[in-house]
Amino acid sequence: MLVNYDNILTLALIMTTEKSKTRSKNFTQEEIMSLVDLIHEQKSKLFGALTSTLTFDDKNKIWEEISGRLSELHWNVRTRDYVMKKWYNILAKHKPRIADKLASAR
């Protein structure tokens, strides 16, 4: 079997020059509070029903705006998907506490 060293060297060069994914910084408490505030401002649109005037694309644009404003405020680049994931993780973490408070209030 003949080995083409030019192809191997080219492949090795490409692999070493590709940017590796770096782990993004954790959200700070200030970022989390800003995220909660920004989502609270748009909660009726983000979590309301889809209508002829409010489409899925509109909701995605709102998430993009929130991630952009969050990035501007705190100098950390946050993508729409990352911001959405963080929001739903916050909800999942605090849902049992909220349910307990509602149950004890009855």
DSSP assignment string, 42-102: THHHHHSPP-SSS-HHHHHHHHHHHHHHHHHHHS----HHHHHHHHHHHHHHHHHHHHHHH
Residue with the larger pLDDT of the pair 98 and 63: 63
Any domain includes 8 = no
The percent of residues in the chain predicted with pLDDT above 70, rounded, is 80
Any domain includes 33 = yes
Any domain includes 97 = yes
Any domain includes 7 = no
Q: Is residue 3 scored above 60 in pLDDT?
A: no
Q: Report the number of distinct structural domains present in the chain.
A: 1
Question: 33 pLDDT band (50/70/90 cuts)?
Answer: very high
Any domain includes 61 = yes
Any domain includes 93 = yes
Question: 12 pLDDT band (50/70/90 cuts)?
Answer: low
Return the residue matching tokens 């989502």.
Answer: 39
Question: 22 pLDDT band (50/70/90 cuts)?
Answer: confident
Any domain includes 54 = yes
Question: Which residue range forms the structural domain that includes residue 83?
Answer: 25-105
Any domain includes 14 = no
**What's the whole-number mean pLDDT along residues 1-25?**
61
Are 24 and 76 a contacting pair, CB within 8 Å?
A: yes
